[in-house]
């Protein structure tokens, strides 16, 4: 819970930014572009956050999730890891989705209960990819990855933490097939 002291501390950290911005900014909602240009003339735009507007907010969320995932490339595999110091496969998915407000389960098998199944041809960045092996009438989920993109040949690439560390590979990354593709689930609708 944020106390008044914490709130004031945050305010004072950012107050030079807001004071500088307030002193240089005049709000204008006129249709005249010269009014808008005059209002923006004193603003140092390099200090403002940059946003890209898109028609579909889910596309922006998917792209943002994948962009954040890419910043962790090369991080080591850590069994049970859930922090940027090191991730395991499901810990990586858990961490990323939590950054975007999703209350994600921690383990691969539990993560597979979320969302809806989609065909490989329908895979989009940010979808969860599950691997494992059949066991009776069900599966044992042993690995989680996240769809990263499609290459020029329309093959699906995934970003995931494996024993080699955090990397981008093809969807069928295990040449020995000890970790078989079970399917893809869409959590971000």
4-48 per-position pLDDT tens digit = 444 434 433 444 433 343 333 333 334 444 444 444 455 555 655
Model confidence at 154: pLDDT above 80: yes
pLDDT at 49 over 60: no
Higher pLDDT, 44 or 171: 171
Q: Tell me how many degrees the CA angle 99-104-108 measures, rounded to the nearest 5.
A: 120
Q: How many angstroms separate the CA atoms of 166 and 76, rounded? A: 6
Better-scored residue on pLDDT, 149 or 33: 149
Look over the chain and give the mean of its residue pLDDT values, rounded to a whole number.
78
Q: Look at residue 149 and give its three-state secondary structure.
A: strand
Architecture of the structural domain at 57-186: Alpha-Beta Complex (3.90)
pLDDT at 162 over 60: yes
- pTM for the predicted model, two decimal places: 0.69
Q: What is the pLDDT of residues 83-118, one digit of tens each?
A: 999 999 999 999 999 999 999 999 999 999 999 999
Name the segment(s) of the chain with CATH classification 3.90.1720.10. 57-186
Cα separation of 45 and 53, whole Å?
A: 17
């Amino acid at each position: 819970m944020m106390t008044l002291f914490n709130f004031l501390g945050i305010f004072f950290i950012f107050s030079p930014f807001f004071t500088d911005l307030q002193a240089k900014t005049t709000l204008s909602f006129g249709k005249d572009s010269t009014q808008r240009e005059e209002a923006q003339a004193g603003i140092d735009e390099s200090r403002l956050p940059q946003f890209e507007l898109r028609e579909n907010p889910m596309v922006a969320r998917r792209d943002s999730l994948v962009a954040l995932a890419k910043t962790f490339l090369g991080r080591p595999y850590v069994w049970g890891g859930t922090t940027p110091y090191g991730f395991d496969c499901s810990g990586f998915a858990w961490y990323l989705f939590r950054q975007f407000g999703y209350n994600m389960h921690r383990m691969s098998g539990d993560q597979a209960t979320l969302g809806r199944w989609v065909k490989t041809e329908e895979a989009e960045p940010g979808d969860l990819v599950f691997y494992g092996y059949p066991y009776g009438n069900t599966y044992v989920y042993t690995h989680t990855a996240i769809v990263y993109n499609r290459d020029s040949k329309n093959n699906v690439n995934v970003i995931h933490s494996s024993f080699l560390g955090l990397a981008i590979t093809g969807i069928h990354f295990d040449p020995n097939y000890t970790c078989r593709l079970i399917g893809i689930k869409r959590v971000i609708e």
